[in-house]
Amino acid sequence: MKTALTLGPTTGNYTPAVRVGDLWYLSGQAAFDEAGGVVPGGIREQTAATLENTRTLLSAAGLTLGDLVSVTVYLTSMADWAGMNEVYGSFFPEGTILPARTAVAVSGLAEGLLVEMTCIADASGQGGGAA
């Protein structure tokens, strides 16, 4: 059985998060502000906004960043990897078991975005993660 989680209208034909069993599958999260515009700044600002949006979606499901088990990061330039990685790490307290992660370069993302992330979270502990 699937459960859908939507926090508001989307720009396409998709569901922001779908639960199957104990796993939540999050659609691509990006650096959009509440008005739907791209957060200004470079990779650090966009990474922080992307993770804040991810945190908000997880929170609506009763979860935290600490419940993430897998993250795929899409970058428009691998030259941004170090900046993304630095900010990404700051969202997880020391000692946290970090999610498995893959980072790949893509030829482009919507609306001038520099980074997008898809995630899988484990709800078996329902909010037991520390981040």
Domains of the chain: 17-122 (3.30.1330.40)
43-60 and 81-90 helices, crossing angle to 10°: 40
Cα–Cα distance for residue pair 112/49, rounded to 1 Å: 14
Contacts of 88 (CB under 8 A, 6+ apart): 47, 51, 73
* pLDDT digits 0-9 by tens, 85-100: 999 999 999 999 999 9
* pLDDT digits 0-9 by tens, 58-87: 999 999 999 999 999 999 999 999 999 999
User: What is the pLDDT, as a whole number, of residue 128?
Assistant: 54
> pTM score, two decimals?
0.92
